[in-house]
Structure 1
Amino acid sequence: MSFDLDTNQICSDLESSDHRKRGSTLLKLREICEHTPDSVGTDAIAAEFDELYLHLLKCYGDRYENVRDRAVLAVSAFLKRLPPLDFHLLNVVSTLAERMGQTETVEPSEEIRLLYIEQLHLMLRKYALMGNVGVFRECYPQVVKVLIKAIKDAYAAVQREGCATLVQLCRVADTAELRPFTESLAVALYGMLNHRHSAARIAAIEAIGRVSLHLDASGEGMRRLLAEVSPLLMDSMPLVRRECGLMGVLMLLELPDRYSYFERILPLVLCCLKDDSPEVLSHIRPLWEKCGVQYYEENEAELSQQEIGDLPVENYPAGVQRPTIGCRGLVQRSLRLLQLITRETSDWKDNVRLHSLKLLYQFILHAEASMTAKFFEIYPHVSHACCDSEPIIAAEAKKVADLMGRLLSYDAWIDHGFDGLERNARESFLKCFYYMFTASLGGTYEHLQRLGKLLRCTDYSHTLKPGFQLYILKTLDTILDKSSKVTASMEELKDLYLNIYVTAMKVMALSYALHNEDTEDVQRGQMILKRLVQLQETSLAKLHESWFGIVLLDVDNLDAALDENAEPVLLLYGLIHLGKIRSTYLPQLIEKIKLVFQHCCDTAQVRIFSILSIAALSWSETVTVEREQSTQLLSNFITEVVEPHLPWRAGAHGEAMRSMAMATLCAVAQGAKEEAREVLPALANHMPSLLEDRNVTTRHYAIKAMCYFQGMSVEAIKPLAYAIMQRMDDPSAGIRVIAATAVGKLRPVFKTEGTKEELEYEHEVWEAFIKRALDILLLYHESPEKEMQAAAQRSLIELAKLHPAAWEESYQRALGMARRKDELVEFYAQMKINDAQVETETN
């Protein structure tokens, strides 16, 4: 088939007033051109096109859309077969510029505008393949106008095709010829970076990357270009972020003045190396290594010398691939950018803070020990980020701090780290230091001791912030870990362990006092104490006995009107809970308690008294000294702490303190039973009024304590006995039950010396009380309250065994007045059976 057209007829048809005829002619012409075999020479096609092109290009402005559409497709079909002639190029480009390069939108159809830009793209590809792109130099102004219009088009497909066409132009254009237009092209592309379609953003980034290779590097254009693209490193679409990385790789490899812009280009690539999407990381990493290879080849003389002493880091982070020496060299020469990165770690936007920390991580990973010189600058920013309100950002800051500890030169940064802790006693700085110090291999005895003393000081160990407390304890754990690797004498280690013990105790005490329960911090602190016990080869009790008094020395400022939530009061409260009462520091503890009672607010006094009453329950377990010494300690404790608050005082505070004093006395009676037998009788004169106190809690503890008043003479115990008996009529059911129980436990000590009358008188007095008690207990035996009935039965059994005659007499009296005689008779018979069993077993 030859390419022989009736050009006159075709031209006549294209001039026809019938748009359908024009359209059909264009369609037919396109089909002929597309189906012409390759054997037909381009000269023949060019000859026909010379006759037709004016009529074809005129149809670009036809009023009917289908005619314009077919005209563009027909010309494109010809262009694919034509040789690259300037004549045809200039005419087609001029027509496209008229239709699409104007300020206003001449072509209303989005589809045809897309065909226009596709046609321009086709010509660029055709001329580029033939190595004759230079023919475009005369029409660059028109081409650029078309491209800018396409990039700003409202139709996304036109915009993307415009970007692709611009990429093609930049690939083949001479920089000197294209440079005058690059600024306007770049500005047009910036408007697409916020496009709602990710494909449009990707196309724009690719085009900007290509334009940057021709941009004048001496002006502000390059800085603006990088500034416009950088926010897209935080784009929600992974492919957009990947395109930013590809742009950075392109500039690192091909930008003529890349050495001047390394520090601004590197973030585009490094951010992709820490991207959450595997497809971004896997695509960019090999290209980044290619950049490193090129940089190494360009600076081989310098880097080859550095490579000789480039030993691997001993505690390199697990699972992290070490960058090549070329990649590291690229970053190490660009550390000036750190100031900008660290400033963004405090940005108000969460994603900006996270992005900057990820970028900082990559800088540290590549710079390694070279970053040590910048430690003083980045330390405050990383510390602040460690306490970020967003957990994901705080976790990233932790990774950065950990990496710093591993890769930075320990001897160079440790002093600056300590200075930061000393100047800024805050959780943020401690967190950052903890991650660095734990990850590092360094740590001499002097450093451990310095850190231990620093944490022991009030600015740290007296904090009331739970997060701060947690990291103090974590740091103590790290000190213990590193203490096994240092060279030090036993005495030096003992000093170190002492600081750890004091700090841990204070932190645990405050943590417990703030929550009134054993928190995770308290449990962590207990684990530290267990480690100290193992290291010291001792027991926890002995550890407390040896060092707890030193902790009490740090409880100061109690001589002020402090409330219950003041730090010294909380500290003392928690320490009493943890250490309990022990013989070695009891006098010292009493002095601290007396200061609270003398100076602090009412609520603080009650709070300390409450924890003291709980600690007193463990007296026999914690005061492990001889009986005589323990009794003396108990006597001093009661005399100085408890007894002053037993007498009646007016007011709610006096009432609360009496109640707490009585609770402590009751706890002591239970916790130190043997010692209490000797000490409690001295307080007998206080008990009658306490048994009748208006406060039900005070009466409750008082009557409960009476069960432990033993070894008293009849004369001393008589008023207490009758006072207890009266409590069986108390409004409180609980007190009535305890009173019924206590009556059966009273055991006086009768005189063994004296006249017969005196001895008989004592027995008569006590016998009268027993009879009265039995009568009342028999009365309550019929009580509808089950607990009261059971308590009365228990006491009746106790007293009946000791006083059988009085029991028989009381039983006979009660039998005549009992409402439920059957139950009383049954109870009496049961007691007889039990007595017979006891006698049989005894025989």
Structure 2
Amino acid sequence: MGFNIDTQKICSELESSDRRLKTTILEELRDKCANGAKTASADEIAQVFDQLYLHLLKCYEDKFESVRDRAVQAVSAFLARLPPTDFHLMNVVSTLAERMGKAETVEPSEEIRLLYIKQLNLMVCLYAKMGSVGVFRECYPLVAKILIKSIKDDYPVVQREGCCTVVNLARVADTQEFRPFTESLLVPLYSMLNHKHAQARISAIEAIGRLSLHMDASGDAMRRLFNEVSPLLMDTMPLVRREVGQMGILMLMELLDRYSFFERILPLVLCCLKDESPEVLNHIYPQWLKCGVQYFNENEAELSQQEISDLPAENYPEDIKRPTIGCRGLVQRSLRLLQLITRETSDWKDNVRLHALKLLYQFVLHAEAAMTAKFFEIYGDLAHACIDSVAEVNAEAAKVADLMGRLLSYDAWIDHGFDGLERNARESYMRCFYHMFTASLGGTYEQLMRLANLLRSTDYSHTLKPGFQHYILKLLDTIVDKSQKINAGQNELEDLYESVYVTGIKVMALSNSLESSSNEDVNFGQMLIEKLVTLLNSSLAKTHERWFHLALKDVENLDAALEDNAEPVMLLDGLINMCHIRATYVHDLIEKVKIVFAHCCDSAQVKIFSSLSLATLFWSKTMNIERERSTQMLSEFVSQIVEPYLTWKAGSNAEAMRSLAMATLCALAQGAESESVEVLPSLAKHMPSLLEDRNVTTRHYAIKAVVYFREMSVEELKPLAYATMQRMDDPSAGIRILAALAVGKLKPKFSETDTEIEYEKEVWDAIVKRAMDLLLLYHESPEKEMKAAVEVTLQVLARSHPEAWEERYQRALPMAQKKDQLHELYNRLTINEAPDPGNTLTSED
């Protein structure tokens, strides 16, 4: 006999109370069975086990842990060598159920509980060859109790082994016999899905996937299964997500009633195809292709016909491989799930929204044109996702919209897309439509014109939302690009470009008002306008002159008490800053400004006047007309906009407007230098009071503007000259310096008759002498900048009036406190050359 064991002696020793003896006997028995009985037949080993099993199983309840441990190992060693019969199956399973199948924990040792469940797993694998024969079906109630207890165990290794046993049992079990126990096994498995160990979650998912093949598909159990497992598609561990996808693959391939559940199974797989982890995608994608092949083989008659005419779109994404016809067919029959997916794009959790959009992307990729009919159902939800506060989410929504624009049937969705824009003038619909429309190949002249006119309306182009403005400009750019690919006449294109220009300039104006410094939208808008100019074969200035008045016409509702942040005020302000003042619309602009000054609040008036003062600096560059007309327009502008606010009025707003009027006048004198020579003299009467204004800003601009009052008679210039000299005593150091410099730049226009010119020269000489006296007085100032300005002006006056300079020097010398400095100044400035023929206070420089 190859397996010689004294069974009677062993049974007697196992009845002993000596722990060491029993432990030794059990270890020897395990080793003999595992290693020493290789020559023994299975029947011989079975004969020995028949005599020992009762005593061995009794040791499972021994009070010593070491005895229980060795007993389980010994029984497992026997089971591994026994022939595939079910003779001892019920005995062992019953013993395990006593130790591990009750509600309370009978076995305190975690390691022994692990041995118990491993032993059960071993029996499942051994008796798998028996199928449904014997008493295995009678063991299911006990096995289920043991498995449930193991899955609920506090020891993670026991839990994982329990899941492994469930998987092995589900592989071989007969569905009809095993089905009654599936739901009771699933309940503890669902609890494991939240386990902190990723490996435990993976084991649970694998077990759930195998059990799903035996479930009753008619009840709510299957619905709960999907609801429990689906959240793990967003698990932080890639291997967990991969296992969910693997479960979906298993159900697609082997679930008997899979056609009824495609809509719920597909998300488990499709989400893995968009997973950020390569180990998930690389594992699931090849198996997904097999699912497609199987579906194609099962529906070959239908799909083979579809494949013939199912060509990829012309603008199919270059970096994406098109799914096979079988994979596409699987998804195309499951589009009812779209509403559930899009509903999750509004979930309060960021990761749920992102997950839903990635899943939606895969549905679009596989469904292609078949999904067009569902567009109206998901348009609103996708549009909302396009403006999600999380950048990653709205970027994914943009990808989905882009793909829809490429793959959906353009003629079928475009009207509904327009309808959404017209009904919902919001950034969300605008973004979604932009991505779809830009990615599509369609776009007729009528559609482009309809879109351009829609964007030109106040609901869109007058928005104050920066994000909205940005996408309006981008959509305008798309219109311009698509306009080059359509059949349209020159006049039609010019009408289209007119709408694009007006919309673009209004959006840029509002964007500029919202952000006073240069911003991306304004820069992008300028590039758009330049593109239009090129297509029109024109210039930027001519384009503004041609169409700007249309944008100005859209500035409405100014006749109200609007603040500076009101949309009409900001639009007008931005338009002035963007395009300045031009001849073709200067009259319209004056009327708009007058309405603001008459009705709007103080802050709005100040805002517009401030922008006008800056715009007038570019008068000579933007007024592209002959000088005579330019002078007339300047005179009209000054008389209607500037002059009414030069006279003194009480109040802080009047003071601010007076300062701005003076600033505008100063800017005009510089920006329209030749025209202002004829216009400014009429305003000279206001200058003395402006030079003495209590507001330092007003005085500052006034003293800067004085030098531009030219071609005036001595009598007209005389008040200005004395008022300017008085400013050398101004409280503001800057104004004192400017006044000292301005005195030397005043230049009268003398009469042509001899009698009058003599008189005027005498009067002007008196003014010059008075100026020299003051300048010599301020030359002793401790302010270095003031002293330098005085020397500059005295040099000019000494050159033009040498006799007066000599006289005033001699007069000032006795009264000077620093005679050496005055003498040094005299030596530097005195010249022996003849004076300039023109008696002026300034040179021509």
CA distance in 2, matches of 1:290, 1:429: 39
- Deviation of residue 311 (structure 1)? 0.7
| Residue equivalent to 2:562 | 562
After TM superposition, the structure 1 = structure 2 runs for residues 461-500 of structure 1, keeping only pairs within 5 Å, are: 461-500=461-500
Distance 2:132 2:122 in 1: 14
- Could you say what secondary structure the match of 2:347 adopts? coil
Structure 1 distance, partners of 2:361, 2:763, is: 89
C-alpha change, 1:671 and 1:240, in structure 2 (3 Å) is same
Distance 1:775 1:838 in 2: 21
Aligned to 2:64: 64
Equivalence for 2:718: 718
- Deviation, 1:130, is 6.1
In the aligned structure 1, how far is the partner of 2:238 from the partner of 2:527? 45
Scaled by the length of structure 2, what TM-score is found? Answer: 0.97
User: Offset of 1:831 from its aligned partner?
Assistant: 2.8
Q: Retained in 1: the 8 A contact 2:404–2:436?
A: yes
Partner of 1:825: 823
- Equivalent AA in structure 1 for residue 214 of structure 2: H
Contact 1:133 1:172 in 2 (8 A): no
Tell me if the contact between 2:193 and 2:205 (Cα under 8 Å) persists in the aligned partners: yes
**Offset at 1:514?**
1.1
Residue 334 of structure 1: CA displacement? 0.3
CA contact (8 A) 1:14 1:55 kept: yes
1:36 to partner: Cα distance:
2.6
Residues 25 and 37 of structure 1: CA distance in aligned 2, closer, same or farther (over 3 Å): closer
- 1:268 maps to which residue? 268
Taking the aligned partners of 1:35 and 1:815, their CA distance within structure 2 comes to: 132
Matched, 1:200 2:192: no
Q: Give SS of 2:192's match.
A: coil
Find the counterpart in structure 2 of residue 774 from structure 1. 772
Change (3 A) 1:740 1:52: same
Could you say which residue in structure 2 is the equivalent of 1:452? 452
Q: Who is 2:612 aligned against?
A: 612
In structure 2, what is the equivalent of residue 387 of structure 1?
387
Would you say the 8 A contact 1:681–1:712 is kept in 2?
yes
Q: Quick check: 1:124–1:133 contact (8 Å CA) kept in 2?
A: no
Q: Does 2:807 correspond to 1:809?
A: yes
What whole-Å deviation, never above 9, does each CA across 1:494-520 have from its counterpart, x for those lacking one? 111111111111111111111111111
Q: How many residues align?
A: 837
CA distance in 1 between partners of 2:832 and 2:308 (Å): 98
Instruction: Give 2:763's match in structure 1, choosing from 757, 762, 765.
Output: 765
Residue correspondence of structure 1 range 290-689 to structure 2 within 5 A: 290-689=290-689
Query: Is the CA contact (8 Å cut-off) linking 1:476 and 1:500 kept in structure 2?
Result: yes
Single out whichever of 323-332 and 792-801 deviates more from structure 2: 792-801
- 2:141 maps to which residue? 141
Q: Compute the displacement of 1:685 (Å).
A: 1.1
Q: How far apart in 1 are the matches of 2:133 and 2:186?
A: 21
Q: Which residue of 2 aligns with 1:188?
A: 188
| Equivalent of residue 784 in structure 2, options 783, 786, 793 | 786
Q: Distance in 1 between matches of 2:260 and 2:20?
A: 61
3-state SS, counterpart of residue 86 of structure 1: coil
Give me the whole-angstrom Cα distance separating, in 1, the residues matched to 2:209 and 2:630.
86
Distance across 1 between alignment mates of 2:665 and 2:311: 70
- CA drift of 1:132 comes to 7.0
Partner AA of 1:815 in structure 2 = L
Asked if the contact 1:666/1:704 (under 8 Å) is kept, the reply is: yes
CA contact (8 A) 2:445 2:487 kept: yes
Given that residues 60 and 72 in structure 1 are in contact (C-alpha distance below 8 angstroms), is that contact kept between their aligned partners in structure 2? yes
Provide the C-alpha distance between the structure 1 equivalents of 2:799 and 2:415, rounded to a whole number of angstroms: 79
2:131 touches 2:174 (CA, 8 Å); kept in 1?
Answer: no
Contact 2:427–2:468 (8 Å) recurs in 1: yes
Mapping of residues 134-173 of structure 1, within 5 Å? 135-173=135-173
**1:806 maps to amino acid:** A
The offset of 1:822, in angstroms, is: 3.0
Report Cα offsets for 1:336-357 as digits up to 9, x if no partner: 0011101100001111111110
8 Å contact from structure 2 (residues 132, 173) kept in 1: no
AA aligned to 2:120 is: L
Instruction: Give CA deviations for 1:606-625 in whole Å, capped at 9, x if unaligned.
Output: 11001100111111111121
| Contact map agreement 2:666 2:704 (CA 8 A) in 1 | yes
Counterpart contact for 1:134–1:173, Cα < 8 Å:
no
Question: What is the CA deviation profile of residues 731-767 of structure 1, one whole-angstrom value per residue up to 9, with x for unaligned ones?
Answer: 111111111111111111122237x3x4432221111
Task: Give, in whole Å, the separation in 2 of the partners of 1:394 and 1:719.
Answer: 68
Q: Percent identity at matched positions?
A: 70
State the match for 2:25 in structure 1.
Answer: 25
SS state at 1:87 partner: coil
Matched letter for residue 42 of structure 1: A
1:265-318 CA-partner distances (Å, limit 9, x unpaired)? 000000000001000000000000000000000000000000110112211112
1:171-230 deviation per Cα after TM superposition (whole angstroms, max 9, x unaligned): 001111101111111122111111111111100000000000000111111111111111
What's the CA shift for 1:582? 0.8
CA distance in 2, matches of 1:759, 1:294: 112
Q: Which TM-score applies when normalising by structure 1?
A: 0.98
> What SS does the aligned partner of 1:506 have?
helix
Q: Distance in 1 between matches of 2:827 and 2:792?
A: 15
CA deviation string 1:411-431 (max 9, x = no partner): 111111111111111111101
Range that drifts further, 741-750 or 289-298: 741-750
Deviation at 1:38, TM superposition (A): 3.0
Aligned-partner residue type, residue 337 of structure 1: L
The 2-side partners of 1:734 and 1:602 are apart by 28
Structure 2 SS opposite 1:817:
coil
Render the CA deviation track for 1:88-112: whole Å, top value 9, x for unaligned. 1111111111111111111111111
Shift of 1:18: 1.0
Amino acid at match of 2:706: M
In the TM superposition, residue 785 of structure 1 has moved relative to its aligned partner by: 1.4
Query: Is the contact made by 2:131 and 2:173 (CA closer than 8 Å) also made in structure 1?
Result: no
The letter for the 1-side match of 2:742 is A
Q: How far apart are residue 827 of structure 1 and its match?
A: 2.8
* Cα pair 2:802 2:830 within 8 Å, conserved: no
How far did residue 837 of structure 1 move? 13
Q: Which amino acid aligns with 1:513?
A: S
Q: How large is the RMSD of aligned CA atoms in angstroms? A: 1.5
Measure how far apart 1:129 and its partner are.
4.5
Cα deviation for residue 71 of structure 1 reads: 0.3
Equivalent pair of 1:295/1:326 in contact (CA under 8 Å): yes
Q: Residues of 2 paired with 1:603 and 1:228: CA distance?
A: 60
Q: Secondary structure at the match of 2:750?
A: coil
**TM-superposed deviation, 1:788:** 1.3
